[in-house]
Amino acid sequence: MSVRLSQLLPALAVTAAVCLPCVAPEAAVDAPGIRIAYGDLNLATPAGVAILYQRILGAAKQYCEPDRVLTGTRLSPNYDHCVQTAVAATVRKINQPGLSALHAARSGAGGGQS
């Protein structure tokens, strides 16, 4: 759980920051078993930012799947925490204003953290 998350975040975030300029047409974030391609996106547009955010969220959910344990009719809080932490760390490392604003609006994390 937290060991896997601690392994994912640096790989996901550092590679995302390095690939952000999208020098290569297929820029991507690599983590164990996860690839987020966004070289095809224009991050200067709201649509491009929204698609990147969905890709980050999808990759985080895929990565955290082993923590997805049903407890009765609810998901384990470990899964939700894993996804939220992975998404927040990736958004923070990419440090793109539009992506940060979208994350703040969708997560309710608005107001102040960089």
Report yes or no on 114 lying in a domain: no
**What are 57-101's pLDDT values in tens digits?**
999 998 888 877 766 667 677 888 888 998 998 898 888 999 999
| Average pLDDT taken over every residue of the chain | 73
Confidence of residue 43 (pLDDT cuts 50, 70, 90): very high
Report yes or no on 39 lying in a domain: yes
Number of domains comprising the chain = 1
Report yes or no on 99 lying in a domain: yes
Report yes or no on 113 lying in a domain: no
* DSSP E strand stretches across 1-114: 28-31, 34-37, 70-71, 74-75
Cα-Cα-Cα-Cα torsion 46, 51, 57, 58, nearest 10 degrees, comes to 170
For residue 113, give both structure tokens. 């953290």
Report yes or no on 79 lying in a domain: yes
Percent of the chain at pLDDT exceeding 90: 31
Percent of the chain at pLDDT exceeding 70: 60
Residue 104 is predicted with a pLDDT of 96
CB 39 within 8 A of CB 24: yes
- What pTM value is reported for the model? 0.65
Q: What's the rounded Cα separation, in Å, for the pair 97 and 100? A: 5
Residue 78 is predicted with a pLDDT of 85
Provide the domain limits for residue 11: 2-105
Report yes or no on 110 lying in a domain: no
Report yes or no on 46 lying in a domain: yes
CB 38 within 8 A of CB 52: yes
